[in-house]
């Protein structure tokens, strides 16, 4: 069943530099696709008439987030994300909120970069990118 995002339901939490999950949902406009992804391994032999593959290990995917820049102390994206590049922390993504039984996607991610940007007569924005370290956990909120 197709669904439209209902305002205020999507929750994104990211570890700050002290290892405490901080909810940044109100500062995020976009989060990249996030879920399980595996590599394929070619097992084709001379006896096969077509390519053959099997599932390999889980891919170390990248996910980016972006939105309105804010330098609110301790809770804004600048305070949380500016110190994260080069560190590994948890990201939790709840596409439809945190009610019991709602989908929860989480994992440990290396922060690759955090970059504020602006333009004339436009709002100041930021972008951050993370790379998966290990496996994605797909479960439900409790």
Alpha helices in 70-125 (DSSP H): 77-81
Q: Kindly report, residue by residue over 57-69, the tens digit of the pLDDT.
A: 999 999 999 999 9
Domain boundaries, the chain: 11-140
Output the six-digit token pair for 96: 């439809």
Residues whose CB is less than 8 angstroms from the CB of residue 62 and which lie 6 or more positions away in sequence, other chains included: 32, 112, 129, 130, 131, 132
Task: Match domain 11-140 to its CATH number in 1.10.150.80, 2.60.40.10, 2.40.30.200, 1.20.1090.10.
Answer: 2.40.30.200
pLDDT at site 119: 81
Is the confidence at residue 133, as pLDDT, over 80? Answer: yes
């Amino acid at each position: 069943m197709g669904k439209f995002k209902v305002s205020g339901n999507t929750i994104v939490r990211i570890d700050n530099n002290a290892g405490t999950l901080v909810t940044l949902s109100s500062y995020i406009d976009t989060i990249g696709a996030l879920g399980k992804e595996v590599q394929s391994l070619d097992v084709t032999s001379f006896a096969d008439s077509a390519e053959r593959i099997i599932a390999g290990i889980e891919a170390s995917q990248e996910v980016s987030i972006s939105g309105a820049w804010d330098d609110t102390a301790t809770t804004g994206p600048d305070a949380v994300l500016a110190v994260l590049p080069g560190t590994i922390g948890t990201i939790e993504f709840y596409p439809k909120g945190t009610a019991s039984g709602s989908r929860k996607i989480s994992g440990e991610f290396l922060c690759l970069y955090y970059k504020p940007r602006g333009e004339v007569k436009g709002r100041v924005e930021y972008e951050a990118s993370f790379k998966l370290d290990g496996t994605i956990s797909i479960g439900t909120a409790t």
